């Protein structure tokens, strides 16, 4: 094998290779795009009379509107007519896009709708999903969804199949149940969207899921290879003329207050401060977002985890300011994500990770102000971010700057660059910069398959640190299709690569990953909808000494998903891992693993019952070698629903390890119980415990939407500390009650 130097001249060698690959791939994308099938189109009529948003399409404007045409079944029988009819109509006036859906159902008593709250998880519900690709760039889209009880779900779709539903827009809808099915009436303000001023045509797609039948129907692109989030498969809607964004200005003042009772001192601390968020469309396609004296009191706490690896855990961003147009800052150094059940490679590189701003060592740092400019200028996507954080007792005031550009190429590809400056750690500052390329097509080969190639190169600089070995680079090739799925990935993270406001799980390594999945859909065999068979190999090599640091084979010979919704994810999978420790590793208190090689084989059983039932369960039991000994690992999830208002879920993760260095048990328990009075008023509760910290935590939250864009949040946080592991004697920790009232004015 030819060894590659890890010194600083490597990125230029890589980029030379990438240029050759890119040239061939670009011409391929262009050629295949020119032979693609025609897009489905529809002209949106202008509403001739006012529309009352009540979940009943009885206005004259709806009666005169032409239907969009029949949906196409994507699964289980792709390309055929749906089992139930769906009538979709679109209208617009100068302020709103109206979407009316009549979802006929021959068994209306079997309609599934278990959730009602804003941003609820409706994956186990009948639902309508909508994509609006307002720029027709086939890369980014606004996402809206609802179920028969009127839950409001929104998000930002980006990349090939990425979706962030933590983003919230101002919009509204009403639903109703009938003897013939259910109806959704949706109004999306043009003030809530970015779009080009000189185009009256948008990308559009709509999907209807009938969950009890495991059936998905789409307006455009109803093929198994075309996941709904593949924006390139959307059709087109035209006639969107005379749209108004007003002055394009939203002002959202808020007041946030808190009361904290210290268990240690018995003292009470009160705090109340005003703040302001604003959103201004400089042009219809370019938005300026600002925040002053920011408060994130409405944000849910992170899920509790116990780390049994040597590397950092990743927690997703949930704060609203950083989620605005999040897809612009997406970089080609992450993924590809493997299918469920296959662990991530643990080598994702984030040159910008927004959780590094406003958080330091798990403690919150106040944000004085932040500004963000996002959108499009011609065919170029722009993202500029500037944030200043206040000084605290543990960190000085800090300034952070991020700049991101993406130049769109052909139908689905881009080339881009990024620059990030700042470091959340006290006394440190740094810079990260680099470039990436994405070449994507959904028309590869004779059968119009998906193919994605990504490559990137990054470098970091820190004051007082040697600039040698400060780079990261790599590429990935993914063939993400229904029957066959595969990937090849190479990624290098050098020892001194340290993105100050980025994130990496490990450094001083070169990673290779190869994988193939064969996923047939047998006909008339044991009621199986699809079988999955995976083989994954991941290899990490230490750069400084050229030795293997870790590797893993993951083989799944049996993963069956039934038409009932039940599944057998594993009965005899093989997980062969190798770990080489160069220094001692403390895996649990008092349990220290010495340097050496650790070669283990594990297997497991994974069963899941259909989520369409009121009571459902997921069980994952693993057994076999674990470091220097053995371990049993048990993960369970039990869910119970009383539709549509109440839901309960209990999740447990337990590891029972038997090692020569010492036995230990690692446990986490997480419970959620939520109640929705209506889509506008909901109560959520999160209770968590782990035996590593011995901390029991409870967060209770109330969200009341007074009107779209104006909300009242109340959160209550209480913690307790167990005296000893397994002890029922709990000491009360601090108590916190916080509230936030925000009101949006649109101009």
Sheet with 172-178: strands ordered across:
45-46, 86-92, 96-104, 181-189, 172-178
**Quick one: tokens of 550?**
């870790």
Residue-level pLDDT at 160:
63
Higher pLDDT, 96 or 314: 96
d(CA 489, CA 349) in angstroms, rounded, equals 13
Q: Is the pLDDT of residue 331 over 70?
A: yes
d(CA 152, CA 707) in angstroms, rounded, equals 13
Tens-place pLDDT, residues 596-624: 999 999 999 999 999 999 999 999 999 99
357 touches 501 (CB < 8 A): yes
Q: What is the largest CA-CA distance in the chain?
A: 78
DSSP 219-234: SS--STT--TT-GGG-
d(CA 374, CA 329) in angstroms, rounded, equals 9
Tens-place pLDDT, residues 660-691: 999 999 999 999 999 999 999 999 999 999 99
d(CA 265, CA 250) in angstroms, rounded, equals 43
Angle at 498 between CA 496 and CA 501, to 5 degrees: 170
How do strand 235-238 and strand 41-43 relate by DSSP bridges?
parallel
Please report, for the chain, how many H helices and E strands are present, in that order: 3, 48
Q: How confident is the model at residue 298 (pLDDT cuts 50, 70, 90)?
A: low
CATH code of the domain in which 89 resides? 2.60.40.1190
Least confident of 236-245, 291-300, 559-568, 573-582: 291-300
605 touches 582 (CB < 8 A): no
Residue 745 in any domain: the answer is no
Residue 268 in any domain: the answer is no
**For 354, phi and psi rounded to 5 degrees?**
-65, -20
The model's pTM: 0.85
Residue-level pLDDT at 496:
93
Q: How confident is the model at residue 305 (pLDDT cuts 50, 70, 90)?
A: confident
Residue 227 in any domain: the answer is yes
Region 206-227: mean pLDDT is 92
Residue-level pLDDT at 26:
37
User: What are the beta bridge partners of residue 580?
Assistant: 597
d(CA 98, CA 189) in angstroms, rounded, equals 9
Residue-level pLDDT at 297:
64
HEC profile of 42-92: EECEECCCCCCCCCCCCCHHHHHCCECCCCEEEECCCCCCCCCCEEEEEEE
Residue-level pLDDT at 617:
97
Tens-place pLDDT, residues 499-525: 999 999 999 999 999 999 999 999 889
| Residue 156, domain extent | 36-238
Residue 179 in any domain: the answer is yes
Distances in Å between the alpha carbon of 324 and those of 72, 168, 222, 232?
32, 8, 30, 22
Residue 744 in any domain: the answer is no
Q: Is the pLDDT of residue 285 over 70?
A: yes
Tens-place pLDDT, residues 236-282: 999 999 998 888 899 999 999 999 999 989 999 999 999 999 999 99
Tens-place pLDDT, residues 473-493: 999 999 999 999 999 999 999
Tens-place pLDDT, residues 73-119: 999 989 999 999 999 999 999 999 999 999 999 999 999 999 999 98
Tens-place pLDDT, residues 360-395: 776 788 889 999 999 899 889 999 999 999 888 888
Number of domains in the chain: 1
Residue 110 in any domain: the answer is yes
**Please, which residues have CB within 8 angstroms of residue 647's CB and are 6 or more apart in sequence?**
114, 115, 639, 640, 641, 672, 673, 674
Region 173-189: mean pLDDT is 96
Q: How confident is the model at residue 427 (pLDDT cuts 50, 70, 90)?
A: confident
Residue in 494, 337, 461, 550 with CA at minimum distance from that of residue 14:
494
Residue-level pLDDT at 664:
96
What mean pLDDT value characterizes the chain?
89
Residue 293 in any domain: the answer is no
């Amino acid at each position: 094998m030819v060894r590659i130097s890890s010194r600083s001249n490597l990125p230029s060698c890589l980029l030379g290779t990438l240029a050759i690959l890119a040239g061939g791939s670009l011409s391929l994308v262009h050629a295949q795009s020119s032979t693609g099938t025609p897009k489905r189109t529809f002209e949106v009529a202008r509403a001739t009379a006012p529309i009352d948003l009540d979940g009943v399409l009885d206005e004259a404007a709806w009666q005169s509107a032409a239907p969009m045409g029949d949906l196409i079944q994507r699964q289980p029988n792709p390309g055929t007519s749906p089992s139930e009819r769906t009538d979709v109509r679109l209208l617009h006036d100068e302020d709103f896009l109206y979407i009316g859906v009549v979802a006929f159902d021959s068994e209306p008593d079997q309609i599934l709708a278990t959730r009602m709250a804003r941003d609820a998880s409706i994956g186990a519900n009948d639902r309508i999903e909508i994509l609006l690709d307002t720029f027709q760039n086939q890369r980014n889209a606004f996402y809206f969804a609802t179920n028969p009880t009127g839950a409001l779900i929104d998000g930002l779709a980006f990349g090939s199949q990425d979706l962030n539903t933590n983003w919230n827009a101002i919009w509204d809808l009403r639903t109703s149940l009938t003897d013939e099915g259910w109806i959704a009436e949706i109004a999306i303000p043009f003030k809530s969207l970015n779009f080009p001023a000189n185009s009256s045509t948008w990308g559009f797609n709509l999907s209807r899921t009938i969950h009890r039948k495991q059936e998905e129907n789409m307006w455009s692109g109803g093929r198994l290879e075309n996941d709904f989030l593949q924006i390139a498969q959307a059709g087109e809607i035209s006639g969107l003329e005379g749209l108004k964004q007003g002055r394009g200005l939203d002002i959202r003042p808020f007041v946030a207050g808190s009361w904290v009772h210290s268990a240690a001192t018995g003292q009470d601390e009160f705090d109340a401060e005003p703040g302001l968020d604003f959103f201004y469309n400089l042009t219809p396609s370019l938005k300026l977002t600002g925040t002053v004296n920011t408060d994130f009191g409405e944000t849910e706490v992170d899920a509790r985890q116990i780390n049994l690896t040597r590397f950092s855990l990743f927690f997703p961003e949930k704060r609203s300011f950083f989620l605005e147009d999040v897809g612009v800052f997406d970089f080609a150094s992450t993924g590809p994500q493997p299918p469920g059940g296959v662990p991530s490679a643990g080598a994702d590189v984030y040159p910008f990770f927004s959780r590094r701003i406003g958080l330091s060592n798990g403690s919150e740092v106040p944000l004085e102000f932040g500004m963000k400019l996002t959108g499009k200028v011609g065919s170029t996507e722009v993202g500029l971010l500037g944030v200043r954080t206040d000084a605290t007792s543990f960190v000085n005031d800090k300034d952070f700057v991020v700049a991101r550009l993406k130049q769109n190429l052909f139908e689905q590809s881009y080339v881009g660059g990024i620059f990030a400056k700042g470091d959340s750690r006290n006394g440190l500052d740094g810079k990260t910069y680099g470039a990436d390329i994405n070449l994507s097509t959904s028309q590869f080969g004779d059968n119009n398959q998906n193919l994605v190639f990504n490559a990137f190169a990054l470098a970091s600089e820190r004051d007082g640190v040697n600039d040698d070995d400060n780079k990261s680079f790599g590429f990935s090739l993914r063939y993400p299709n229904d029957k066959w799925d595969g990937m090849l990935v190479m990624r290098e993270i050098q020892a001194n690569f340290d993105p100050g406001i980025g994130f990496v799980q490990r450094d001083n390594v070169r990673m290779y990953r190869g994988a193939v999945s064969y996923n047939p859909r047998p006909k008339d065999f044991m009621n199986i909808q699809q079988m999955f068979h995976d083989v994954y190999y991941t290899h990490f090599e230490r750069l400084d000494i050229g030795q293997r640091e870790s590797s893993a084979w993951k083989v799944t010979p049996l993963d069956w998903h039934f038409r009932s919704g039940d599944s057998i994810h594993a009965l005899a999978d093989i997980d062969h891992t190798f770990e080489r420790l160069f220094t001692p590793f403390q895996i649990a208190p008092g349990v220290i693993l010495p340097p050496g090689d650790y070669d283990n084989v594990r297997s497991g059983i994974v069963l899941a019952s259909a989520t369409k039932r009121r009571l459902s369960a997921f069980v994952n039991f693993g057994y076999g070698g674990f470091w220097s000994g053995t371990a049993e690992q048990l993960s369970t999830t039990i869910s119970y629903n009383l539709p549509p208002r109440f839901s309960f879920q209990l999740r447990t993760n337990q590891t029972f390890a038997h090692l020569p260095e010492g036995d230990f048990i690692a446990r986490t328990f997480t419970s959620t119980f939520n109640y929705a009075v209506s889509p506008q008023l909901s109560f959520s509760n999160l209770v968590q415990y782990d035996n590593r910290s011995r901390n029991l935590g409870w967060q209770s939250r109330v969200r009341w939407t007074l009107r779209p864009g104006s909300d009242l949040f109340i959160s209550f946080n209480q913690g307790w500390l167990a005296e000893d592991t397994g002890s029922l004697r709990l000491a009360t920790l601090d108590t916190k009650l916080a509230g936030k009232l925000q009101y949006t004015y649109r101009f």
